[in-house]
């Protein structure tokens, strides 16, 4: 029932504009949220952790990646890339990674996590959340301000601002501290969407920010990707493709709750 209740709340937030996450009321009490920054390594260490994940088999194309982390209020905290230079990974994936982080944060709760991969099916034509991907556009003044030479560095111009944006394929995950507090979102982009999800999951695990309370994946009760069996009617996501030598993304993703289990490190 908790899963159904949480998804009903999510749908209600979308249908009732301003009903969720609206902090504009002058009568509502201020809600203090934990600052994700204090749980994160420095910029160079975060980048090194992303690169360590990419040394593993993750399926997909074996490409370099962008990763963005933002706080519970939607402010960008850090942006990193894995390659030697910012042109070593798709330039467009910088903003996509931020969109994914924003989406996972915006549609996850203290008691129920939704990955961006979990949202794919519901936004298809005829789905219960069709149109969600158009509901919160990226703020282009934030996304593209400042010199491009600073993109992915410790002074990336997005840092400190709200990027917005909704992205509904794999690569975005909510961040939960070891005591279960929801503190923000992580977005990864640069490969197939299935591999993006795998890399985001592994990076979140390295950060010890994966004390996921519950999620739509019935087998693990987490926000893991759920591959479609041919139907798109719940929380499913399509399979992708792999280059030879990269491993099977389906096998790797399905095993994530075992290989990189959620919950605080002991």
The total of other beta-carbon atoms located within 10 Å of residue 229's CB is 7
Answer whether residue 26 shows pLDDT above 50. Answer: no
Residue 19 inside a domain? The answer is: no
Exposed/middle/buried for residue 212 (C-beta within 10 Å: 0-12, 13-18, 19+): buried
The reported pLDDT for the residue numbered 176 is 98
User: Distance (Å, rounded) from C-alpha 42 to C-alpha 33?
Assistant: 21
For the chain, give the percent of residues with pLDDT over 70. Answer: 86
Residue 17 inside a domain? The answer is: no
Single pTM value for the model: 0.86
The reported pLDDT for the residue numbered 233 is 67
Residue 20 inside a domain? The answer is: no
Closest CA to 203 of 104, 124, 112: 104
Residue 152 inside a domain? The answer is: yes
pLDDT category of residue 113 using cuts at 50, 70 and 90? very high
Answer whether residue 18 shows pLDDT above 50. Answer: no
For the chain, give the percent of residues with pLDDT over 90. Answer: 76
The reported pLDDT for the residue numbered 2 is 34
The reported pLDDT for the residue numbered 183 is 97
CB 196 within 8 A of CB 43: no
- Greater model confidence, 111 or 21: 111
Closest CA to 170 of 153, 187, 156: 187
Answer whether residue 235 shows pLDDT above 60. Answer: yes
Residue 90 inside a domain? The answer is: yes
Query: What is the extent of the structural domain holding 102?
Result: 33-259
Residue 27 inside a domain? The answer is: no
Answer whether residue 234 shows pLDDT above 90. Answer: no
Answer whether residue 165 shows pLDDT above 60. Answer: yes
Residue 85 inside a domain? The answer is: yes
User: Distance (Å, rounded) from C-alpha 137 to C-alpha 185?
Assistant: 17
Domain count, the chain: 1
The reported pLDDT for the residue numbered 232 is 65
- What is the CATH classification number for the domain harbouring 242? 3.30.450.150
Residue 240 inside a domain? The answer is: yes
């Amino acid at each position: 029932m908790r899963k159904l209740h949480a998804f009903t709340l999510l749908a209600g937030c979308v249908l009732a504009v301003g009903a969720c996450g609206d902090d504009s009321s002058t009568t509502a009490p201020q809600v203090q949220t934990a600052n994700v920054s204090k749980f994160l390594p420095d910029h160079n260490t975060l980048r090194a952790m992303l690169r360590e994940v990419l040394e593993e088999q993750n399926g997909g194309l074996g490409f370099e990646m962008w990763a963005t982390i933002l706080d519970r209020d939607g402010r960008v905290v850090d942006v990193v890339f894995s390659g030697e230079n910012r042109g070593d990974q798709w330039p467009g994936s910088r903003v996509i990674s931020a969109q994914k982080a924003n989406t996972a944060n915006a549609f996850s709760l203290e008691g129920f996590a939704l990955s961006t991969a979990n949202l794919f099916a519901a936004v298809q034509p005829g789905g219960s959340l069709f149109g969600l991907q158009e509901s919160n556009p990226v703020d282009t003044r934030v996304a593209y301000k400042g010199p491009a030479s600073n993109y992915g560095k410790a002074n990336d111009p997005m840092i400190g601002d709200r990027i917005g944006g909704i992205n509904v394929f794999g690569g975005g995950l909510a961040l939960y501290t070891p005591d279960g507090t929801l503190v923000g979102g992580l977005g990864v982009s640069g490969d197939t969407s299935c591999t993006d999800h795998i890399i985001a999951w592994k990076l979140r695990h390295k950060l010890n920010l994966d004390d996921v309370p519950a999620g739509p994946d019935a087998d693990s009760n987490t926000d893991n990707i759920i591959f479609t069996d041919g139907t798109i009617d719940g929380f499913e996501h399509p399979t992708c493709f792999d280059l030879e030598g990269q491993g099977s993304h389906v096998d790797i993703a399905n095993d994530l709750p075992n290989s990189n289990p959620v919950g605080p490190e002991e």
